[in-house]
Amino acid sequence: MIAGIGIDIIDVQRMRNIVEKETGARFLDRTFSEREKEYCSTFKDPLPRFAGRFAAKEAFVKASSSFLKGIALKDIETLNASSGAPGIAVLKGDFDSSRYACHVSISHTETYACACVVIEVKEGVAHDKCK
């Protein structure tokens, strides 16, 4: 059963403007984990990757909004599996990964980044908070 679906799109130039300002490093530190920053920094232009991960975090918040409250973006970590597929881990809060599976898709160009998150209730698990 689907517990939630979220989608988000980010203008990469907007992200670039934020990061290039004096507070840019603070924004990255407040929003991304060390592992996310390390991954994105391996690319010649890391901003489309940061924007994609930001979109994934926002999409996760939207997808989980009916049953998960008060989670900070930094507590949502978007990393790639060894296959390259993106995934989400919730570092703090009451999101129970034994109950839910997160399916994540991220795409970006030089101009835009978008992400879609589908949260699925795992088979055999009751989900009374979802209508």
Determine the Cα–Cα distance for residues 43 and 17; give it in Å rounded to an integer: 18
Determine the Cα–Cα distance for residues 118 and 96; give it in Å rounded to an integer: 15
Q: Which of 37, 62, 122, 127 is catalytic?
A: 62
- Average pLDDT over every residue of 40-47: 95
Q: Which of 37, 92, 103, 108 is catalytic?
A: 108
Is position 62 annotated as part of the catalytic site? yes
pLDDT at 67: 86
pTM assigned to the model: 0.90
Is position 127 annotated as part of the catalytic site? no
- Average pLDDT over every residue of 7-29: 89
**What domains are there in the chain, each with its CATH number?**
2-121 (3.90.470.20)
